[in-house]
Amino acid sequence: MKQKKIMLNTQLKSKKLSIEDIGDGHISSSSRTPLRKDAFLMSDDAKMKKIEFHFKEIMETLGLDLKDDSLKGTPKRVAKMYVKEIFSGLDPKNKPQIALFENKYKYKQMLVEKDITFYSNCEHHFVPIMGKAHLAYIANGKVIGLSKLNRIVQYFAKRPQVQERLTMQIAKEIQNTLGTKDVAVLIDAKHLCVSSRGIKDINSATVSSFYGGKFENETTRQEFLKYIQIKTEY
């Protein structure tokens, strides 16, 4: 991964790869979200005030009249939305607290949590990514509350993202939490940076996956894929 990042920087410096190429190619240089060391020194209130100021500047630059009743509160609303909602997953203090339980019933088969709806944002254009995540693990002495799997997905989705990184972050978090390599993650999503701009393809979707431990076995992997295709009836 380090070598890939060095290569990416070299290509940029030599002008072989433009900033626009990177955005359209959905290139990611790391499985970690790129954050500065001082990312959390500023309070949420201070961040919101700063974003409010700069977003107001953007709106005025676009020629919008902020004296209009419909627009005058927009900079403040956007600032609050960025910090408290759609990018709240950047701050470690918002990471969900995960409680594990003893696997007293000795369940050793695959557990699948499918169709977890999430909303994220493309880090190249800051427009929405909308999709579903399907997760599975095979217990290694401990089990996790089902809702906590959803919370893990939402936590990592609520930040500027690349789908491949989101997939890896969710998988690694479940592996580390449960102490097992036997984890599978599949994400099926639509990117508005593809459908609402650029190529403007409204039909395409992006699928990414992670298979660890026993899920590297073809039979186990196919079992997981079969389960997520089941139509759930209520």
83 in a domain, yes or no? no
pTM above 0.85, yes or no: yes
39 in a domain, yes or no? no
Below-50 pLDDT ranges, the chain: 1-2, 4-7, 11-14
Domain interval for residue 25: 1-30
Q: What is the pLDDT of residue 198?
A: 87
Q: What is the pLDDT of residue 86?
A: 98
Residues 114 and 221 in one domain: yes
Residues 117 and 213 in one domain: yes
Residues 106 and 222 in one domain: yes
Residues 18 and 113 in one domain: no
Residues 104 and 216 in one domain: yes
66 in a domain, yes or no? no
37 in a domain, yes or no? no
User: Which pLDDT tens digit goes with each residue over 210-234?
Assistant: 999 999 999 999 999 999 999 887 7
Spatial CB neighbours of 154, under 8 Å, sequence gap ≥ 6: 89, 118
Bridge partners of 102, per DSSP, are 142
Which of the residues are catalytic? 122-125, 163, 191, 193
Residues 133 and 211 in one domain: yes
122 in a domain, yes or no? yes
Q: What is the pLDDT of residue 33?
A: 95
Residue 45 sits at φ, ψ, to 5 deg, of -65, -40
46 in a domain, yes or no? no
Residues 22 and 124 in one domain: no
The DSSP secondary structure of 119-154, one letter per residue, reads EEEETTT--EEEEEEEEEEE-SSEEE-HHHHHHHHH
Residues 104 and 26 in one domain: no
Q: What is the pLDDT of residue 1?
A: 47
80 in a domain, yes or no? no
Residues 132 and 221 in one domain: yes
Q: What DSSP designation does 86 have?
A: I
The DSSP secondary structure of 4-63, one letter per residue, reads HHHHHHHHHHTTSS-HHHHHHHT--S-SS----TTTTSS-HHHHHHHHHHHHHHHHHHTT
Q: What is the mean pLDDT of the chain?
A: 90
Residues 15 and 109 in one domain: no
Q: How many domains does the chain have?
A: 2
Q: What DSSP designation does 87 have?
A: T
Q: What is the pLDDT of residue 104?
A: 86
Query: In this structure, what CATH number is given to the domain that contains residue 176?
Result: 3.30.1130.10
Residues 22 and 123 in one domain: no
Residues 135 and 218 in one domain: yes
- Cβ count within 10 A of residue 175: 19
